[in-house]
Amino acid sequence: MSKIFCLSCHRWLYATVSLYHQCLFLLHAGGQYEYILVEKRGEKSNVGFIQLNRPKALNALCDGLMKEVGLALDSFETDGDVGAIVITGSDRAFAAGADIKEMQNRTFQECYGGNFLAHWNRVSTVKKPVIAAVNGFALGGGCELAMMCDIIYAGEKAQFGQPEILLGTIPGAGGTQRLTRAVGKSLAMELVLTGDKINVRKPTYELSLAEGNRLEKRLFHATFATEDRKEGMTAFVEKRKASFQDK
Ligand code: CO8
């Protein structure tokens, strides 16, 4: 009896949560976002798609835009149907950096005391794979945003750079750290010190090799707690196609 109750409770909870996700998605899909376009794409609607949409400002990353990106990521993160997330811009600009007009008159006290732009970090804490599809300018915070993602796909017109030095400042969202790991110290220093732009198609690395290997080993071990790992290996042995259940 209690089992039946639990089951129906579970179904009720599941239905409520899934309705909540649908409402959240519809709310935002219904035009609540000002600076981004958000939808689910793919044959199975399992790709969360976020397009930065401030064309007149070359997708400069104003505070409102980054808050909206955070909201969209939150809703995709908790949406069980979504397996991966894509962040993209336009052909002309992925993002031309943090919004310089917004930063122009900020003081040290405001930035330091208010932990200015700390919420940008949300992108790098998403558990699902996040892919940056980059074309056009990916500069300053735009380059940093791309590097916070797990994978970068760069189009022919992609131009990466950390031109903060030309504004009298330095990268503030991982540019000195992730870029070094992505392209090596020499090129990273050249880019940060000159503000020059380059085309790159290289993977980015968040951890040292040793840390990464350790984490990889643990995650590899963890796959042995899933039914899908068992199914995948069994299917290989039985010479058939695996039938994964996301379990
Ligand atoms: N912020 C605000 N507005 C911008 C930005 C920007 N980053 N980039 C472009 N725009 C605006 C321009 O002001 C212009 O608007 P308007 O027509 O109203 O004047 C419009 O976009 C089009 O720009 P341009 O006319 O300049 O277009 P061009 O094709 O001539 O040049 C460039 C394109 C080369 C991309 C040029 O716009 C440029 O150099 N932009 C600035 C690039 C830059 O310096 N980016 C780094 C910004 S600083 C930063 O990102 C720090 C991140 C720190 C994060 C910290 C987190 C904790």
Tens-place pLDDT, residues 42-79: 999 999 999 999 999 999 999 999 999 999 999 999 99
Relative to beta strand 84-88, strand 130-134 is parallel
Mutation to probe ligand 1, out of 100, 120, 124 (largest number of atoms < 8 A from CB) = 100
Active site residue 156: no
Q: Please confirm, yes or no, whether 98 is among the known catalytic residues.
A: yes
pTM score = 0.82
**What pLDDT is attached to residue 147?**
94
Q: Tell me whether residue 164 is one of the annotated catalytic residues.
A: yes
Which amino acid does the sequence have at 2? S
Calculate how far, in angstroms, residue 150's C-alpha sits from the geometric centre of ligand 1: 25
Q: Which of 164, 62, 205 is nearest to 120 (CA)?
A: 62
pLDDT tens per residue, the chain (247 residues)?
A: 333 333 333 444 444 444 444 444 544 544 589 999 999 999 999 999 999 999 999 999 999 999 999 999 999 999 999 999 999 999 999 999 999 999 999 888 888 888 888 888 899 999 999 999 999 999 999 999 999 999 999 999 999 999 999 999 998 898 888 998 888 899 999 999 999 999 865 555 666 767 767 777 777 877 888 899 889 989 998 999 999 998 8
136 is annotated as an active-site residue = no
Q: Closest Cα to atom 52, ligand 1: which residue? A: 141
Q: What is the pLDDT of residue 9?
A: 38
pLDDT score at 211: 76
pLDDT at 218: 76
Cβ distance 99 to 61 under 8 Å?
yes
CA 150 to chain CA centroid, Å, is 7
Contact between 147 and 204 under an 8 Å Cβ cutoff? The reply is yes
Q: Check residue 227 and give its pLDDT.
A: 92
Mutation test residue for ligand 1: of 35, 54, 58, the one with most atoms within 8 Å of CB: 58
